Structure 1
Amino acid sequence: GLANRKRFQADLAHELRRAERTGRSGALMLLDIDHFKLINDTAGHAAGDEVIVQVAGVLRRLSRGEDIVARLSGDEFALAFAGMGAEQAMDKAHEILERIAALKPMFGGRIMSISASVGVVLFPEHGSEPVELLAKADTALYAAKDAGRNRAHLYSEADHARELMDSQLTWKERVQRALEEDLFELVYQPIAPAAGGPPSRFEVLVRMRTPDGKRYGPGAFIPTAEQFGLIRQVDRVIVAKALARLAELQRAGLDVAFSINLSGLSVGDAAMLDFIRSEIAAAGVDQRRIVFEITETAACENLAAALDFIRAVRQLGCRVSLDDFGVGFSSFSYLRNLRVDNIKIDGSFIREIHRSREDQLFVKAIVDVAAGMQIQTTAEYVESAEALAVVRSLGVDYVQGYYVGKPKPSLQGLQPRPAP
C-alpha cells in the first residue's frame, strides 16, 4: 500500500537532506480528487473507495522506484520526485491528470468521469523542510481548484500571500472548535524492548476530528495551534486524557507506561507544571509510568526552561525522554546538561540504517555516549526486520515504528502486573 502522512513526512525529510548534500533538486505534489464528496453522495461509498484504489494505481504506475507516493487522508495524495525541475514536474503533473481523466470507472450502470487537482512545489527552491513544503503545496493545490479544477498549479509567492491568512484562520477555527467540542482523540503506538518481548510503553499521539468526520494528524494543526497561542490548551487536553486512560489501565492491573509529548511552549510554562501535578494527583496514577517527551530542538532553544522542567517532573517521579535526538548540531554537548532518562534517536537515521554505514556509525556513537551516561535509547521509525536487526546489534534499548506496531486507538499486548 501507499505510505501514510507520518511516513511520507519522514521519507521526504530523508530525501531533502540527501538533496541538500548532493545539490539535487526535486518536486513535491499534492493531489486531490475533484468533487470526491459528490461521488460518495451520489454513487455511494463503494464507488468512492474504488475511485481511491484506481487513482492510487495511477500514481504507483507513474512513479519510479526512488519516488515517494502516499495517501495523506481521504482523497488527498502526495508524491515526491527526486531529480526533477519545474518543467519536468509540470509535465509529470499533467500526465497524472490525463491518466486519471482516462479512468472512467462504472458504477450502477453509469460511467463516472474523474478529475483531480494538483499543487506543485520545488525543493530546495520553495523550501527545505517537509512541513513548509507541504503547506506551500497545499496553497498551490487550492490555487488549482480556484482556477477551475482538473489542472496543476506551480506554487508562487503571490499564491502564498493570498492564501496564507485564510488558511491560518481556518485552521485556528478548527483547533478552537476541537477544544470547545472535545474533538481531540488519542492513539497509542507501542514501544518495545529491542531484545524482544511485548511493548513496555506506548507513545500517546493525538488526532483532531472535524465535524465532517475527517481526522488530522498533528502535522496539520499543531503549527497553527503554536502560532495562535492554543498549543498549551491542546497539550493540557492530551495530558488529561492520557493520565485518565493510564489510571484506568492501572486499576485493571495492566503493566503499561505512557510517553506524552509536550510542545516547547508548554515546557517553558510554569503553569503547565502545576497542571501536571494536579492531574497526576486527581488521576491517582503511578508517576513512574509517565514519560514526558520533549524534542531536542525545543530543549535547546530554551535550555534554562528545559532544565527547570526536567528537574521538576523528575522530582515528581516521572521520567523524561528527549525526542528527535541527533537533528541538532550540538546534540552531544547538550546531552551533558539535560538529565533525561531516555533519548529517542531521530527516525531519519533509522529508516535506512540497514543500508547506510554512516547511519550505523552515528547511531552507535549515540548509543555508546548514552550508555556511558546511563541513559536508555529508543530507535524511532523501525519499519523492517532488517532495520530492527541492525539497531538491536548496535545496542539500542527500545524500538518503535510500523514494524513494531502502528498507532491505534486501542492498546494491545499488555501484561497484568505480577502480584506483590
Structure 2
Amino acid sequence: MSGLKKFIYIQVSLWLVLSFISTYTVISAFKSYSSEVQLSTQRAISLYIKENPLNEEPKTYANNIKKLFNLESLKIQLNKNEVLFNQTSNLSYLPFVINKVQDLSPFIRTQFAIDPDQNLNLEFTVKMNLAADITQSTLFLMLFLILVLVITPFITLKSLMKQAADSVSEAMSNMIDNFVKSDEQNKQLDSSVAEGAVSSIFPSIARLNLFLRKKQKEVEDSALKIKSEAYKDSVTELGNRNMFVEYYSTNIEDTDKPSFGILALIRCSELQLINQTLGYQKGDAYIKDVSELVQKVIGTYSGSLCYRINSSDFAVILPNIPLKEAERIGDALQAKFTEYQQQAELSSIANTGMVAYEAKKPLGELLALVDTALSLSQSKQANAWHIQKASDVLDNVSANFGNQNWRQVIDEVLDKSRIKLMIQTISPTNRSTKAYSEILARFKTEDEQILPTASFLAMSEKLGQISHVDRLIIESAIDSIKNKNLNEQFFGINITAHSVHDEQFVIWLERLLLKNNNVSAKLIFEVSEFGLQQNVKASKRFIDMTHRVGARVTVERFGVGLTSFKFFRDLKPDFIKMDASYTRGLEEDKNNQYFMRLIVDLAHRIGVTVLAEGVETQEEKHIIEQLCLDGVQGYYIDKPRDI
C-alpha cells in the first residue's frame, strides 16, 4: 500500500512539474515572439512615416497604417499636442489564458514611432490575436499529452494488479481447500496434512485460526460499544432516546436487583425561538452548550448518565442518589443556566423536573410524573426546577393524571365553575400606603377535592386553556365582590402572561371592567416580571388598558429577572412585589438588604409602591419596615382565608 501511495505521489508530482515547465516554456516563447514582432513593427512604421508624409486625411492615413502593419490601436499626434487620430483597445480580443498572462505580466505594450521632420508622433499596439490563439492551443495540447502520459501507467498498473490479485486468490483458495479437506478427514488440525503446496502455508493458517479464536471475544465485547455509537446524538455526542429506553428497561424496569435514584427531565425552553430567529446552527450550539452545563453538574455524581431524548429535552439518570439531594442538583443546574443566560442574552435557558425512581417502576408512568414536574417548574421563574415527591404521588389527585385526564378535569372545572376563592391581606407599613388583599383561587374536582393549584395552572397552560381559567377567576372574583358588598376594599387578582399578551382576552377584560366600573377601580391585576418581559409591547398595551378603566397593576416576583428601570418607566406599573427569595433570611443577609433598599429608592422616585411577600417571622417584618417598603404579605401577617 505504501508503494502504491509513493507511485501516485511521484506521478502527480511529475505531472505538476511537467505542466509547469511546459506552461513556462510556451508562454516565454510567445513573449519573446511578441517582443520581436513589436520591435520590427516599430522600425517598419518609423521608416514608413518618413517615406510617406502626412499629405492626406488623418483618418485615411491612419487606416492605411493599421491595415498595413496589423495594429490593434493607433494614436497620431502633431507637435505632441494636437491629436489627429485616436483608436484604443483593451486587448479583450486575446484568448482567456493569454489574457490572464497579459494581466499578470504585460508583454503587449504600447510602442512609439516619431518623425521629427513632420513633428509627427505615433502610439500603437500590435494585434497578436493569431499568435495568441496558436500559443493557447499549443499549451492545451501539451498539457493534455502530459496528462495522458501520467495516466497511462495508472491504467497499466491497475490491470497488472488485478491479474496478480486473481493469481494470488486462486492459489490461496486451492491451499485453503486442501487444508480444510485434510482437517475434515482427520477431525483435527494436524500438520501431517500439510503436503506439497499446502505445507508452506499450513503454519500461517494454524496461526490465523488461533488469532480468530482470540478475536472472537473482543468482537463480542465491542458489540455493545458499536451499538452505542449507532444510538449517539450527532449534536451533543450523548445517547439518544432509544439508548435511554434500553438502559432504563435493562437496569431499572426489568431488573431483579435493588435499584433507586433520581430521574430528571431538562427542557431547553428557547430552542424553537433560536431556530426561527438565528438559524439552526445557532440552535445546535445552544443545545450543545446546555448539554455541557448539565454534564458539569451531574459529573460529580458516580454513575450519572445523560441522554438527549428529543430535540429540546435531556433525560438524566442519577443512580443511588436519594431524593433529598435533588434540591442541591436543581440549585446547581439553575445557577449554571442563569449564568449562561446572562452571557447569551436570552430570556431563559432551561427548566428541570425531577422524580425518584425505583426498580420495577414502569417508564411510561415515571415519564408522566416527571413531565408534570417539568410543567410545574415552567410555571415558576426562568430556569426553575421542581421535584415531584413521593408524598405528591400519594396525596395529590393530580399526580397520576395524564394529559387526557387533565383535559377532562380542566373542562369540568370550567363548565361547572368549580372554583373556590380565598384572600390574603397585604399589610401596609405606613398610613399613607394603600394596600390590598390578594385573591387566591383554588380549584375543585367533582367530589369536592382541592386540586393542587400549581399543577392545575401549569397543565391548563400546557393544554391551551389558561385564558379560560383566568376568565373564570376574574368573573368569580367580581361576582363575589358585588354579592358580598365589598366595594370599599381593594383586591389583587393574578393573571398569567399568556392572557396578558392575548389580544382577544384584553378586549374581553376591558368590556367586563367597563360594564362593572364600580368594581374595576378596586382591582389590582398581578403579573409576573418574567411574563411581562416576554412581550413588552403587548404588556404595555394591557397596562394602558387597565389604567384606562381605573384598575391598577402589580409586577410580582420582582427581582428574579434582569429587568431595568427603563422597562418600568415605559410600562408604568403601580406596584412591584419583591420575590419571596429576597425575604427569606433577610435579617442575616446584608446583600439582600442593600439590594431591597436600592430597589425601594429607585421605585419611589418613579412613583411605584414596593411590597414584600413571603414574610414569615417578626424579624423579617421588622427589617422590611426599616428598609421603607410599603407593604408586607405572608403567613406571619395573614394566612389565606375564605373571601
**TM range, smaller chain:** 0.5 to 0.7
Q: For 2:331 and 2:579, how far apart are their aligned partners in 1?
A: 25
**CA contact 1:325–1:331 (8 Å) conserved in 2:** no
- In structure 1, what is the equivalent of residue 473 of structure 2? 238
Match runs of 1:65-104 below 5 Å: 87=320, 89=322
**CA contact 1:184–1:208 (8 Å) conserved in 2:** yes
2:458 to 223, 229, 249: 223
Larger RCO: 1 or 2 (CA < 8 Å, sep 6+): 1
Letter matched to residue 123 of structure 1: I
Letter matched to residue 187 of structure 1: M
1:123 to 308, 316, 329: 329
Q: For 2:522 and 2:409, how far apart are their aligned partners in 1?
A: 32
Match runs of 1:324-339 below 5 Å: 324-339=557-572
2:535 to 302, 321, 335: 302
Matched, 1:366 2:573: no
**CA contact 1:194–1:398 (8 Å) conserved in 2:** yes
Task: Call closer, same or farther: CA 1:123–1:167 in 2, change over 3 Å.
Answer: farther
Cα deviation per residue 1:159-214 (whole Å; 9 max; x = unaligned)?
Answer: 42797496333223221211112112211111110237999411111111112332
Q: For 2:586 and 2:622, how far apart are their aligned partners in 1?
A: 10
Please state whether the residue corresponding to 1:213 is helix, strand or coil: coil
Q: For 2:607 and 2:554, how far apart are their aligned partners in 1?
A: 13
2:409 to 171, 174, 179: 174
**CA contact 1:323–1:346 (8 Å) conserved in 2:** yes
Alpha-carbon shift at residue 273 of structure 1 (Å): 2.4
Q: For 1:260 and 1:125, how far apart are their aligned partners in 2?
A: 30
- In structure 1, what is the equivalent of residue 252 of structure 2? none
1:184 to 419, 423, 448: 419
Please state whether the residue corresponding to 2:476 is helix, strand or coil: helix
Match runs of 1:375-414 below 5 Å: 375-410=608-643
Q: For 1:360 and 1:256, how far apart are their aligned partners in 2?
A: 31
Letter matched to residue 124 of structure 1: G
Cα deviation per residue 1:84-134 (whole Å; 9 max; x = unaligned)?
Answer: x864527x89xxxxxxxxxxxxxxxxxxxxxxxxxx7872399649x966x
Q: For 1:381 and 1:162, how far apart are their aligned partners in 2?
A: 28
Matched, 1:293 2:511: no
**CA contact 2:513–2:549 (8 Å) conserved in 1:** no
Matched, 1:356 2:356: no
Letter matched to residue 266 of structure 1: S
Task: Call closer, same or farther: CA 1:218–1:233 in 2, change over 3 Å.
Answer: same
Q: For 2:433 and 2:422, how far apart are their aligned partners in 1?
A: 18
Please state whether the residue corresponding to 1:186 is helix, strand or coil: strand
1:214 to 406, 424, 449: 449
Unaligned 5+ segments in structure 1 are: 1-19, 28-84, 94-119, 149-155, 411-420
Structure with the bigger percentage of helix: 2
Q: For 1:237 and 1:295, how far apart are their aligned partners in 2?
A: 19
Please state whether the residue corresponding to 1:386 is helix, strand or coil: helix
Q: For 1:338 and 1:256, how far apart are their aligned partners in 2?
A: 25
Cα deviation per residue 1:328-386 (whole Å; 9 max; x = unaligned)?
Answer: 02343422322101100111101211121111111111101101101101101111111
**CA contact 2:413–2:443 (8 Å) conserved in 1:** yes
Cα deviation per residue 1:231-250 (whole Å; 9 max; x = unaligned)?
Answer: 0000000010111122234x
Alpha-carbon shift at residue 268 of structure 1 (Å): 1.0
**CA contact 1:191–1:199 (8 Å) conserved in 2:** no
- In structure 2, what is the equivalent of residue 318 of structure 1? 551
Task: Call closer, same or farther: CA 1:188–1:162 in 2, change over 3 Å.
Answer: closer
- In structure 2, what is the equivalent of residue 418 of structure 1? none
2:367 to 148, 151, 160: 160
Letter matched to residue 536 of structure 2: L
What count of residue pairs does the alignment treat as equivalent? 290
Alpha-carbon shift at residue 283 of structure 1 (Å): 3.8
360-369 or 333-342, which moves further after superposition? 333-342
**CA contact 2:514–2:549 (8 Å) conserved in 1:** no
Letter matched to residue 202 of structure 1: S
Structure whose CA Rg is larger: 2
Q: For 2:447 and 2:600, how far apart are their aligned partners in 1?
A: 45
- In structure 2, what is the equivalent of residue 204 of structure 1? 439
- In structure 1, what is the equivalent of residue 354 of structure 2? 136
- In structure 2, what is the equivalent of residue 277 of structure 1? 510
Q: For 2:452 and 2:365, how far apart are their aligned partners in 1?
A: 28
Task: Call closer, same or farther: CA 1:121–1:146 in 2, change over 3 Å.
Answer: farther
Letter matched to residue 609 of structure 2: Q
Alpha-carbon shift at residue 26 of structure 1 (Å): 12
Please state whether the residue corresponding to 1:123 is helix, strand or coil: helix
2:488 to 252, 255, 277: 255
**CA contact 1:187–1:205 (8 Å) conserved in 2:** yes
Task: Call closer, same or farther: CA 1:163–1:328 in 2, change over 3 Å.
Answer: closer
Task: Call closer, same or farther: CA 1:349–1:26 in 2, change over 3 Å.
Answer: farther
Cα deviation per residue 1:39-86 (whole Å; 9 max; x = unaligned)?
Answer: xxxxxxxxxxxxxxxxxxxxxxxxxxxxxxxxxxxxxxxxxxxxxx86
Letter matched to residue 354 of structure 2: K
Please state whether the residue corresponding to 1:327 is helix, strand or coil: coil
Q: Share of identical aligned residues, percent?
A: 25
Q: For 1:242 and 1:403, how far apart are their aligned partners in 2?
A: 25
Please state whether the residue corresponding to 1:285 is helix, strand or coil: helix
Alpha-carbon shift at residue 146 of structure 1 (Å): 7.3
Letter matched to residue 160 of structure 1: L
Alpha-carbon shift at residue 326 of structure 1 (Å): 0.7
**CA contact 2:558–2:577 (8 Å) conserved in 1:** yes
Q: For 1:209 and 1:145, how far apart are their aligned partners in 2?
A: 34
Letter matched to residue 181 of structure 1: K
- In structure 2, what is the equivalent of residue 77 of structure 1? none
Task: Call closer, same or farther: CA 1:299–1:198 in 2, change over 3 Å.
Answer: closer
Task: Call closer, same or farther: CA 1:157–1:364 in 2, change over 3 Å.
Answer: farther
Please state whether the residue corresponding to 2:354 is helix, strand or coil: helix
Structure with the bigger percentage of strand: 1
**CA contact 1:350–1:379 (8 Å) conserved in 2:** yes
